[in-house]
Amino acid sequence: SYVLTQPPSVSVAPGQTARITCGGNNIGSKSVHWYQQKPGQAPVLVVYDDSDRPSGIPERFSGSNSGNTATLTISRVEAGDEADYYCQVWDSSSDHPGVFGGGTKLTVL
C-alpha cells in the first residue's frame, strides 16, 4: 500500500517560514491534502489538491507537489499555528485508498 513519510517535528521562530514535507513514491502524480490538528480538536483542512485553500484559511498557508515530495509552507508563522500537520492522499488504484502521513508536530519557538 502507498506510504507517506513526514518528519516527526519542525521548529520555527515566529514570523519565519515553516516548511513541512510529505514524501511518497511519485507523489507528484497524486492530489495531496493537508490538515492541521490542535490538541483535543478535530482536524481542519488547510490545503487541498496540492495548493488550493478552503475558504477561511489564511493565504499564509500554501502547498506544492512535485516528484517524490509534497510541501506545506506556512509563511509568517504565528504562535497559533503550533499544531500537528498531516498530509493525505486518495490512492484510487488501491483497495484501501485512504492514506495519511504520520504527522508533523510544528513547534513555534
Partner 1 sequence: EVQLLESGGGLVQPGGSLRLSCAASGFTFSDYAMTWVRQAPGKGLEWVSAISGSGGTTYYADSVKGRFTISRDNSKNTLYLQMNSLRAEDTAVYYCAKPISPLYAFDIWGQGTMVTVSS
C-beta of residue 47 within 8 angstroms of C-beta of residue 33 = yes
- Quote the CA–CA distance of 67 and 96 in Å, as a whole number: 23
Instruction: Take residue 49 and report the three cell numbers written for it.
Output: 489538491
Which CB sits closer to partner 1, 12 or 63?
63
CB of 40 to partner 1, least distance (A): 10
Residue from 25, 58, 76, 90 that binds partner 1 (CB under 8 A)?
90
- CA angle 54/23/72 to nearest 5° reads 30
Instruction: Take residue 103 and report the three cell numbers written for it.
Output: 504527522
CB of 62 to partner 1, least distance (A): 15
CB of 74 to partner 1, least distance (A): 18
- The contact pattern for partner 1, residues 44-83, with x = CB under 8 A and - = no contact, is xx--xx----x-----------------------------
